């Protein structure tokens, strides 16, 4: 490649970067090279001027503004959703605490029940006799009833929110 070809290649390469230079999207060293080239090349200087005009025009485009009622509605809707989200998180924390508390009570009540009904050491031997099965069934029933009640309550609150 002779000197002239190299200059033409360099010119084409830098010319490709003129638009990015006008957009302020080049690294400082890249931009410096483009500007130096444009300073000595009338064709690139003119084109850089056009790109700068376009970039300036885009920067000065007027800003359309949302209507006041749209902004107010956005605030109201977002505030309502935020309050719902806060309530949901708070409810979830309470629910986790209650479930943990209920499990602790349940697990603690089994050995206590065995101690009362069958002796101090007998609770270590959980035979599937009628008392134990009845107690387990009662526990499951209470948990299932609680779960159904919680689900129904949550659905009711959801529908109340939708109609509000």
Task: Tell me: does residue 94 bind other proteins (CB under 8 A).
Answer: no
Tokens of 64: 């359309």
- Cβ of residue 54: shortest distance to other proteins, in angstroms? 6
Number of CB atoms found within 10 A of residue 38's CB: 20
- The region of 50-58, 98-106, 138-146, 150-158 touching other proteins under the rule CB under 8 A is 50-58
What is the size of the binding site for other proteins (CB under 8 A)? 35
Tokens representing residue 66 in the block: 């949302």
What the block records as the tokens of 85 is 């989200």
Nearest to 146 by CA among 97, 91, 90, 98: 98
Choice from 11, 19, 35, 45 touching other proteins (CB under 8 A): 19
Say which residues have a Cβ less than 8 Å from residue 161's Cβ, sequence separation at least 6.
84
Q: How far is the CB of 133 from other proteins (least distance, A)?
A: 45
Integer angstrom CA distances of residue 79 from 84, 156, 159, 160: 9, 22, 19, 18
Closest approach of Cβ 124 to other proteins, in Å?
Answer: 46
User: Would you count residue 71 as binding other proteins (CB under 8 A)?
Assistant: yes
Cβ count near 114 (within 10 Å): 20
Contact call for residue 162 and other proteins (CB under 8 A) = no
Q: Which residue has the tokens 């989200």?
A: 85
Contact pick of 3, 28, 64, 119 for other proteins (by CB under 8 A): 64
Residues forming the site for other proteins (CB under 8 A): 16, 19-20, 22-23, 25, 50-51, 54-55, 57-67, 70-71, 73-75, 77-79, 81-83, 85-86, 89
């Amino acid at each position: 490649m002779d000197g002239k070809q190299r200059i033409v290649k360099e010119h084409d390469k830098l010319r490709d970067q003129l638009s990015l230079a006008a957009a302020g999207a080049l690294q400082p060293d890249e931009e410096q090279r483009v500007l130096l080239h444009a300073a000595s090349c009338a064709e690139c200087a003119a084109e850089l001027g056009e790109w700068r005009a376009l970039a300036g025009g885009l920067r000065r485009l007027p800003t359309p503004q949302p209507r006041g009622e749209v902004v107010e509605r956005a605030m109201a809707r977002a505030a309502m959703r935020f309050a719902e989200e806060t309530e949901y998180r708070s409810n979830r924390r309470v629910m986790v605490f209650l479930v943990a508390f209920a499990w602790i009570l349940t697990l603690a009540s089994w050995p206590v029940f065995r101690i009362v009904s069958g002796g101090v050491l007998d609770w270590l031997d959980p035979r599937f006799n009628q008392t134990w099965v009845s107690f387990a069934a009662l526990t499951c029933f209470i948990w299932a009833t609680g779960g159904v009640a919680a689900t129904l309550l949550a659905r009711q609150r959801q529908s109340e929110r939708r109609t509000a």
